[in-house]
Structure 1
Amino acid sequence: MAAAAASAAFVLVACVPIEPEADSSTSPEVQAPAITRGAASELDPVGADAAKAQEVNLWMREMSRWSAPDSYWGTVAEQSADELQRLADSYPVAESAVPAELSAAAGAITAGKLELGARDYEAAAITLEAAPTALNGVYEQLVMDAEAVEADTGWRLTLGDDLMTTGTGQDNARVERWIDGDTMETSTGEIVRLIGIDTPEMSQTCSQAEEALAAVQAMAPEGATITLRSAWTHEPTDKYGRSLRYVELADGTDVGYSLLLSDLAEARYDSRDGYRWHLREKAYRDTGGDPGFDAACAFAATGLILLEDDDRYNDDGRERSDRMSLIERTLAQSGAGLGDMVVDARATHETRDREAARKAANSSAPSDWSFDFPDSLCPTRWC
């Protein structure tokens, strides 16, 4: 998908020319600043934000599994209406129109079944039509609620058992050298750019760039073993060929997160400023750090694709649409199912009427083998 995005003519890319690689050795007088270490485990799906997102996630999954009744027989309609009402009562997003719309649809199904029982088919058809009408409005509201929950919690819903996980894979490597505070070279020659943060380029006029470099060199010095964790929402490399990774230490420290907590980096290049969403985005942003970089500090081109509003190049928006399509299909099928229910009721009643008429005819017809014996001749066991 990243390749398709990069090839589109109107997709914008940061046009600042990348600076020549600067000498990454810090000045002798620059000491590593005080570092607040942040553990990668703090960014895993735990806590109030993850619990809230998971509550909504599981509700959406149940909604995607609901089915409209398509049969008049038995209690299919009643069970479907009861389930819809339960979903309305348990909806976990406050101040949403979803519960009222679901309740209206459940009520229409219940009332329509009663009218079908009374054989008022025309009235039932009108009543049942109110259900898909209400459900059509539910889908758009659900999408808006899902977007709001994802923005508020920082997690992405899957409509599966769990929220989205940290990444698609990880590799171990050793530090060869740090180029600056957010870019390193590994012992295999791979250049790695940290996801979701930005530090100034090395220059003699930006002391904060040297401080950031000194901090990462202190946390992960040359030869240190590190874990490079990929984020599935990101392209694996930028247009300069640098691998995009979270960098974690053997003790579980997230290097980028630690720089943010220490006011040595800015949280950037995520869905809040026009780039791709990544799983640790909200946690990075919520650090609230303000490094207050000097005006003399310079930043190189990102190498990342700046997303347009066109959803074809917005992986996050497109993937959300794909996930929510499970619910969309469920709701879209409700109209056809309820229409089948009216047809089924007519057929059921006609069948019952024919059966009743047949039984009535059989009960009134004389028996072929009966005889009219005089009382004096009638055997007791027959008469």
Structure 2
Amino acid sequence: MTPLSSPPQAPVDVPLVLDRCREVVRPALLKAVGRMHPWVGEMAAYSFGWCEVGGAPAAASGGKGVRQALAVLGAEAAGAPGRAGVPAAVAVELVHAFSLLHDDIMDGDPARRRRPAVWKAYGTGPAVLAGDGLFALAVETLATTQAGASALRMLSAALGDLVRGQADDLLFAARPWTGPQRVRPAEYRAMAEHKTGALLGCAAALGALLGGAPPPAVAAFDRAGRRLGLAFQAVDDVLGIWGDPEVTGKPVHSDLRERKKTFPVLAALDSPSPEARRLAALLKSGADPQEVAVLIEAAGGRAAALDEARGHIAAAEAALADVAPQGTAGDELRALSAFLVRRDL
């Protein structure tokens, strides 16, 4: 076996891998959404970027397809064809879409991927209904597989984690920036593992399960995916403050303007530097985001978040160290991990 931490034998074109996995999954995802009530299905299709309001075809980006790729590669790593992981990819993608619809409502976010969010385009009630429909469809998709009972238990556990993470994220907004009730980096890490990591872990583990992997390997894929999710979130937090608006689709310093408690901010506040004390005062006063961003970086928040991401990638590789991926799946999983950490930084 070639360890996941070693360099790939040949360069891996990650965008090409993502495209390949999306093409494997897309027919089944389209077919699943096509079974929904026409109006609810239109909202679901809009959320994926397939149509405009009213159903006219659209070519908006539906995201990178990371969860789909993890499911397909998980099946391939188990020695099965990538199509064996397609039901897992479809179910997890449906759950992810459902969570985004509801998250946008809870957070009051008016836009998603440079378009009006579903609740802004169709109304709050219809968007909730569309999210419920996507969730029901995900359950149905897994229930019809050979490993239906085990797969559904795995998805249910991930959903429980996702709800826990979202609850903590909402509660963090009301907590102070400083003092004994402030949000600590460790608390944020636990929230991110539940809200982001659980579903990525579920995608990889479900793919491996449907590909015929034994329970220890399935568990290793779950751990690896969770760590990948934590790395993904840490990088997202950096991009939310310092990312290029042309790439992120959000204004520069967007997370600071929304006063989000993200890892770079919390790590900076937790540092013993004099900048941390000045940063706390600025956050309480609602100072200019540009000035706040400079202090976060000076207090080590940006570097800490990037170190956090690199550490989780190393842990993901360690989780798979005893798994022998079949074919090129190991190289592709490692390359995908590196791609997600270095994206546009």
Structure that is richer in helix per residue: 2
TM-score bracket for this pair, using the shorter chain length: under 0.3
TM-score computed with the length of structure 2 as normaliser: 0.26
Structure having greater relative contact order (Cα 8 Å, sep ≥ 6)? 1
TM-score computed with the length of structure 1 as normaliser: 0.24
